[in-house]
Structure 1
Amino acid sequence: MDYWKSGKFPYIGLVGDFDWQERFGITDSLEGFRDHYRVNVEFPWAKDIADKARNLTVSQPVFPNLAESFLVTSGVQESLKHAFEVFQDEREQLFRSAQENLDYALRHIVPPIDFGRLLLPPNLRDYSDEVSPAEVLDFVEGEAIPMYLVPRGRTAIRLIHAETRSERRAILGDRYTTIIDDCADVLEACEHKIIRSEVEFAVEALEAMRAGYNRTAQGMLTVLLDSIVGSFYPGKEKRTITNRKKEHDPPELLLEMSIRESLVWLPIWNAHEAFWPYKGDPVPHYYSRHASVHAVSRKQFNKRNCVQALMLVTSLLGYANHLACSLD
């Protein structure tokens, strides 16, 4: 899937408008170029023309024919030709000097911009040398594990580099406690009033997990996820998010999203993989919203699936908080 077709990049505008000459400290260099041009090109050229003009003896003859006219004016032509040759040489030298100064500025003055780092979510920006934005997008396209805000960078790197779903689930179990802590930090930072109620329920589920009631928490988090998704997409579009058919590519709604939005919504879409008990679909061992609601069982309700549901809710609430704060 080509995530770049939409041309939407959430970090465009991060730097903002500014005066490039001043920002990169090359104003002085450009002034130097202009001084060099005036001293070494304009002044010598003008002086050369003036000297040659003084040496010319041109009266006001009556030209009997074009041949005589050409002979009289040939001296002026030669002077102008020589002057323009000097000007061309000086111009080429100036441009070479300007290019050398600009190359130096780009190498030594302008700070390098790591665009890959800017495109990564905040929890992964310190790991731009270990993972690329394309790898993160590829991961969330196929998993119901979010990468936006949670989990912490080192855990996220382990999950992305794991080769199988079994390995990823093992990591979820191994990092169960630290992932809860990561989610607690993000939820604590969600201060906007518009999501206050949802954050309270998420924190209550999180505390239930810490107390050992992960099944209770998974039920709460699954219902809460439904509620928040419905707040974002109250109409027919909700079915686009909550109706993930097996072996189908993401819908156009998701393809048109920015990178940040994709990191939030693709895992939620994957968590809504089709599950039809009456068709004989087996209960999956990995987290499934539909199985959690329609097939309550020990196979579906477990610590790994619970912490996965917590991550989905936390990532979505963190995104909602950021969006609401930016619109204030």
Structure 2
Amino acid sequence: MPDTPEREEPGPKVAGDGPAPGQPEYAKAMRDAIASMPSVQQLLADLRSPVASAFQIPTQLQNLATVTTVLSTDALRALRPPANFTQLPDYQRILTNLAPRISFPDFAELFRRHQPANWHGTTGDGVKTMDLIELARAGWPSAWVPGPKVLRALALAAPAERGQVLCDHEKHVLDDCDAVLAEVVSGPSEVQAGLLRQAVAAARQGYHAPAQAMAASVIDTVIRESVSPWRGYNDWLRLHPDDDDFTIGQMRYMTTMAPVRPALERFFPEKGDPVPEAFNRHASTHAVGDVQYTRTNALVGVLLAVSIVREFHAEYAEQVEDGSPEVKGARGA
């Protein structure tokens, strides 16, 4: 006698769920529900944007965030699937098996821990993490200093207005620098931190040119010390490419160093190149004058020097905590 296929007994009808099994409309309702369900790829795409926005996650980090969020029942509910979604119990199981069980809150905390401290309280209400990274790439220090208030103002300002934002908030900028430098109390960056405190004091008194000159010298010294043996600025730039190929653990360092690239742009007066108007290490040393030496450039230079010194001190402290202190060096070297 041939086997008779077993039939699954229909479950009880839930009010509001549509026609019950056995009714003529049931088969059509099921077909319509399945046809209208998003694909797994679409689920990932739908989840990616709100999750990344909520946690301020850069584009290159969104895939991991998306996969982990797929495992969240709340996130699945937020997608508002078709009414008969609950009649397909295997769908949740299939999604659950797509990736390892990773705790999304733990990932969010990991992401936050590798941000510069001044980013906490900066993002949100129109400012995203990528805005702060792009700000740094454009030559405006955004890691460690300035504090959230000034950093938000910079991120929200039009590019042409950012210099005025720094000048309008000069006292806050210098206070933020002093507060961060006060954290550098030992290690190989302690001397540079002391010299930068003098630069901050000079700027408070209106002596912006000496402050800028000191900042440019400190920047030159610390980046030279970060690569051993030193082979020149082009080699440093090669070790610090301007791209998105960085991990969460490298994000803080990458953002700290991003403004160094425009500050190292070369120009050749003998070839007719104009003196750069934005802060520039070469021009601060070899083109002293009222084009390069400005109040805005002095504040940018001090911020950048403080940012780098604080980053190197953080790396030194992390190495000491790990029990293996080493000479600070360029990431990826």
After TM superposition, the score normalised by the length of structure 1 is: 0.61
The two structures, once aligned, show a CA RMSD in angstroms of 3.6
1:163 maps to which of 158, 171, 175: 158
Residues 202-240 of structure 1: per-residue CA shift (max 9 Å, x gap): 111111112221111211111111011111024355423
Alpha carbons 2:275, 2:291 under 8 Å: kept: yes
Counterpart Cα distance in 2 of 1:112 and 1:323: 23
Shift of 1:112: 8.4
Letter of the 1:138 partner, please give it.
E
Alpha carbons 2:233, 2:264 under 8 Å: kept: no
1:197 maps to which of 177, 182, 191: 191
Give the equivalent residue in structure 2 for 1:132: 128
Once the two structures are superposed, the pairs formed by residues 125-274 of structure 1 within 5 Å of their partners are 125-129=120-124, 130-141=126-137, 143-164=138-159, 166-236=160-230, 238-240=232-234, 251=238, 253-254=240-241, 255=243, 257=246, 258-274=250-266
Alpha carbons 2:216, 2:301 under 8 Å: kept: yes
| Identical positions, percent | 23
1:113–1:195 distance in 2 versus 1, CA, 3 Å: closer
Consecutive unaligned residues of structure 1, counting only runs of 5 or more, are 8-94, 103-109, 244-250
Counterpart Cα distance in 2 of 1:175 and 1:113: 35
Shift of 1:119: 5.4
Give the equivalent residue in structure 2 for 1:73: none
Consecutive unaligned residues of structure 2, counting only runs of 5 or more, are 1-57, 62-88, 97-103, 321-333
Alpha carbons 1:229, 1:238 under 8 Å: kept: no
Bigger relative contact order, structure 1 or 2 (CA pairs below 8 A, ≥6 apart): 1
Letter of the 2:297 partner, please give it.
N
Alpha carbons 1:184, 1:203 under 8 Å: kept: yes
Counterpart Cα distance in 2 of 1:323 and 1:4: 26
Counterpart Cα distance in 2 of 1:234 and 1:307: 29
Letter of the 2:157 partner, please give it.
A
Residues 267-312 of structure 1: per-residue CA shift (max 9 Å, x gap): 0111111211111111222211111111110121121111111001
After TM superposition, the score normalised by the length of structure 2 is: 0.60
Shift of 1:181: 0.7
Alpha carbons 1:123, 1:153 under 8 Å: kept: yes
1:118–1:199 distance in 2 versus 1, CA, 3 Å: closer
Letter of the 1:187 partner, please give it.
L
Alpha carbons 1:119, 1:133 under 8 Å: kept: no
Counterpart Cα distance in 2 of 1:167 and 1:286: 13
Counterpart Cα distance in 2 of 1:235 and 1:252: 13
Counterpart Cα distance in 1 of 2:210 and 2:272: 26
Counterpart Cα distance in 1 of 2:317 and 2:301: 24
Alpha carbons 1:118, 1:125 under 8 Å: kept: no
1:294–1:163 distance in 2 versus 1, CA, 3 Å: same
Counterpart Cα distance in 2 of 1:112 and 1:259: 17
Letter of the 2:280 partner, please give it.
S
Alpha carbons 1:240, 1:253 under 8 Å: kept: no
- Describe the SS at the equivalent of 1:127: coil
Alpha carbons 2:266, 2:282 under 8 Å: kept: yes
Counterpart Cα distance in 1 of 2:106 and 2:229: 45
Alpha carbons 1:215, 1:301 under 8 Å: kept: yes
Once the two structures are superposed, the pairs formed by residues 71-150 of structure 1 within 5 Å of their partners are 114=108, 117-118=112-113, 120-129=115-124, 130-141=126-137, 143-150=138-145
Structure number with bigger Rg: 1
Letter of the 1:216 partner, please give it.
P
1:323 aligns to 2:315 (yes or no) = yes
Shift of 1:171: 0.7
Letter of the 1:224 partner, please give it.
V
Counterpart Cα distance in 2 of 1:111 and 1:287: 40
Counterpart Cα distance in 2 of 1:317 and 1:290: 19
1:118–1:180 distance in 2 versus 1, CA, 3 Å: same
Shift of 1:134: 2.0
Give the equivalent residue in structure 2 for 1:75: none
Counterpart Cα distance in 1 of 2:270 and 2:195: 32
